[in-house]
Amino acid sequence: MRKGKDLKGEWDAFLQTGSERAFYDLYDHYHDYLLYIGLQKEMPMEKVKDCINDLFLYVFENRIKLHTVSHHHNYLVTIFLRSLFRKRHFSSSESLMFDEEQLPDMPAYPSAEALYIQQNVQEQVAQILKNYMERLSSSQAKMIYQKFYLGLTYEEIAQANGVSVKTVYNTILQAVAKLKKLIGTGHIGTLATAISLLGIFILIFLRIS
């Protein structure tokens, strides 16, 4: 998965040309990463989201000033954490750098496989799933995102949403069970299944032999 530091091209493009595409790409990445760090530090979801938007609003309004920043990743994360823990000084100076070692990486996520599944899933199934996810209540969608995409633990999610671990567990379980019923068994991505099945059989053969 791409790391924040790899987005130097987008950062430079935005600073120099104000490219909206580059701005959106930066948001696309940091939205998940900063939500992960913030929620992991047991801050409520709304607050973390607001701090992320505060940060990006600041970047948007001050892009002319920011050309002095040499390490965009450290800079963004530092400003974000300061704002999250209520330190009020927004400045373009990098005087307070955090220790990079202290910040966790996001849990692993199978992006390549995700892309493959999206491209090979049956049209009908994709549509049912999309509609279903759009219809979920905001708390259901949030928790699924937090558990499946961000990889937070049940405790961390309970803390972030102000509910009990049991509630998180039940919410997610219900959402999954219901969707599974809607789709039916074994219908998802027949093509993808067939191909990965081949992979699994090969694995089985290798293990047996």
Partner 1 sequence: MPGIYKKRMQDKEVAQFIEQESFLNYCFKRNDEDIRYWEKWLTENPEHVLQVEAMKQMLILMAEESRDRLKRQHFSELEERIAQSKFPQVAKRIVLWPRIVAAASIILAVSFSGYFLLHTTQLQQTAYYKNDIPPGHNQATLTLANGKKIILTKGLSGKLAQQGNTLIGVNSQNAVAYTATGANANLPAAYNTLSTAIGEQSPYPLVLADGTKVWLDARSSITFPVVFNGKDRIVKITGEAYFEVAHNNDHPFKVTVKDQTIEDIGTHFNINAYTDEKVIKTTLLEGAVKVSAPASSSPSIKTGVKLKPGQQSILNNNTLNVANADIEETMAWKNGYFRFNNEKIESIMRKLSRWYDIDVQYSGIIPDEEFYATSSRYRNISEVLTMLQKTKGVHFKVEGRRVTVMQ
Q: Which residues bind partner 1 (CB under 8 A)?
A: 20-21, 24, 27-28, 31-32, 44, 46, 49, 52-53, 56-57, 60-61, 107-110, 113-114, 117-118, 121, 126, 129-131, 133-137, 141-142, 144-145, 147-149, 151, 153-154, 162, 169, 172-173, 175-177, 179-181, 183, 185-189, 192-193, 196-197, 200, 203-204, 207-208
Q: What is the DSSP string of 20-56?
A: HHHHHHHHHHHHHHHHHHHHHTT--HHHHHHHHHHHH
103 vs 117 by CB, closer to partner 1: 117
Minimum CB distance to partner 1 smaller for 54 or for 94: 54
Nearer to partner 1, 77 or 160 (CB): 160
CB of 154 to partner 1, least distance (A): 8
DSSP string, the chain: ---GGGGHHHHHHHHHH--HHHHHHHHHHHHHHHHHHHHHTT--HHHHHHHHHHHHHHHHHTTTGGGG-S-HHHHHHHHHHHHHTT-----S---S---GGGSPPPPP--HHHHHHHHHHS-HHHHHHHHHHHHHS-HHHHHHHIIIIIS---HHHHHHHHTS-HHHHHHHHHHHHHHHHHHH-TT-TTHHHHHHHHHHHHHHHHHHH-
Q: How far is the CB of 185 from partner 1 (least distance, A)?
A: 6
| Minimum gap (Å) between residue 134 Cβ and partner 1 | 5
**Closer residue to partner 1 in complex, CB, 71/167:** 167
CB of 153 to partner 1, least distance (A): 8
Minimum gap (Å) between residue 97 Cβ and partner 1: 26
Q: Which is nearer to partner 1, 78 or 153 (CB)?
A: 153
Q: Give min distance, CB of 35 to partner 1, in A.
A: 8
